[in-house]
Amino acid sequence: MSTETLAAVATDPSDLSRRLSAAEQQLVQSERLASIGQLAAGVAHEINNPVGYIFSNIGTLERYLGDLFRMLAAYEAAEPLLAGTPSAAELASLREEIELDYLKDDIPSLMAETAEGVKRVRKIVQDLKDFSRVDQRQDWEWADLHHGLDSTLNIVNNEIKYKADVRREYGRLPEVQCLASELNQVFMNLLVNAAHAITAPRGTIIVRTCTEGEGDAARVWVEVEDDGCGIAPESLKRIFDPFFTTKPVGKGTGLGLSLAYGILRKHDGAIDVRSTPGQGSCFRVTLPVRHRGVAGEAS
Ligand SMILES: Nc1ncnc2c1ncn2[C@@H]1O[C@H](COP(=O)(O)OP(=O)(O)OP(=O)(O)O)[C@@H](O)[C@H]1O
Ligand SMILES: [Mg+2]
């Protein structure tokens, strides 16, 4: 920036106040995200326990039911011994009344469905915990980015599943020293943006990862590519500006990419985009494997 522009910025009160209010809004947004994370982690924690015992009880119930079915089969095998007695007639009518054959078919599939449902709830709870990481200190940590991407994909699955298929083209990644939950927010915004960009009845989102370089110079990148509407050249320059959005009111605040940009700057990383209008976009996040900059950390 030249000195003239600097002076102009510094002396133009309307511009200054616009910037100040943008910074304030960004702060509000990141606080909002932090408190959503906290809420999610709290709910996840509360659900975790009951889901834990439902899961283990279902396992026990399945075993008990197996035993009961074996016992029932043994009784059935002994039934001919009662032929002609009133008990035999009673058993026959009861069998019909409760539709025993149907129950024997349906109970195992009910149990399997229930177990599957609880497993899914458990996974969501775990993803929420991983995503928010509020139970851990927001600290620089060594994290597996594939793990963060998978959790985030699970969380935004609802937003994506009706619009696009997700293809994971994961390379080999070392653990990366980062603020993991903040990076998850970056991935989340890129994925939601990609889903919003899909115009065809169904599109494809590709999540790609790769490592480049070695030792202290090693860097990793994560790409989120979509075959959606693409970005017009005049918008491309502005997408990282706070509040730049092309989405209707209520659908976008235009903060996602500016937050992502800030988070990556903190990581000494970068975010780049290639886009062809009408064909799609590809956002690439690049990060150093080892974070430099906070004294006394990282070994
Ligand atoms: N994958 C993409 N394809 C097409 N346009 C995109 C894509 N990602 C971002 N954009 C454009 O960049 C703009 C800014 O994105 P950004 O994520 O900052 O805000 P938003 O998605 O509009 O709102 P928010 O993320 O705050 O809910 C979007 O409104 C859209 O025009
Ligand atoms: Mg967005």
Cβ 259 under 6 angstroms from ligand 1: no
pLDDT classification of 110: cutoffs 50, 70, 90: very high
| Alpha-carbon span 195 to 206, nearest angstrom | 11
Cβ 254 under 6 angstroms from ligand 1: yes
Q: Which ligand is closest in space to the CA of residue 239?
A: 1
Q: Taking the CB of residue 177, how many other CB atoms lie within 10 A of it?
A: 20
Q: Helix, strand or coil for residue 263? A: helix
Q: Is the pLDDT of residue 41 over 80?
A: no
- For ligand 1, atom 9, the nearest C-alpha belongs to 193
pLDDT score, position 84: 92
Q: Is the pLDDT of residue 112 over 80?
A: yes
CA 134 to ligand 2 centroid distance, Å: 23
pLDDT classification of 12: cutoffs 50, 70, 90: low
Nearest to 138 by CA among 178, 188, 179: 179
Compare 76 and 135 and report the one with higher pLDDT.
76
Q: Which of 63-67, 203-207, 250-254, 288-292 has the lowest mean pLDDT?
A: 250-254
Cβ 197 under 6 angstroms from ligand 1: yes
Q: Is the pLDDT of residue 95 over 70?
A: yes
Cβ 262 under 6 angstroms from ligand 1: no
CA distances from 148 to 18, 111, 122, 123, 157 (A): 35, 31, 17, 13, 14
CA 183 to ligand 2 centroid distance, Å: 14
Give the CATH fold of the 139-288 domain.
Answer: Heat Shock Protein 90 (3.30.565)
| Alpha-carbon span 51 to 200, nearest angstrom | 38
Instruction: Give phi and psi for 35, each to the nearest 5.
Output: -75, -30
- For ligand 1, atom 17, the nearest C-alpha belongs to 256
- Percentage of the chain exceeding pLDDT 90: 60
CA 172 to ligand 2 centroid distance, Å: 28
Cβ 185 under 6 angstroms from ligand 1: no
Cβ 33 under 6 angstroms from ligand 1: no
Strand partners, 284: 223, 272
pLDDT score, position 71: 97
Average model confidence (pLDDT) across the chain: 86
pLDDT score, position 39: 75
Domain spans, the chain: 1-135, 139-288
Please name the residue ranges forming H helices in 133-204. Answer: 145-160, 180-197
- 63-87: per-residue pLDDT in tens? 999 999 999 999 999 999 999 999 9
Question: Is the separation of the CB atoms in 281 and 194 below 8 Å?
Answer: yes
Of 30, 239, 272, which is best to mutate to test ligand 1, by the most ligand atoms within 8 angstroms of its C-beta? Answer: 239
CA 226 to ligand 2 centroid distance, Å: 14
* Residue linked to tokens 């979509």: 226
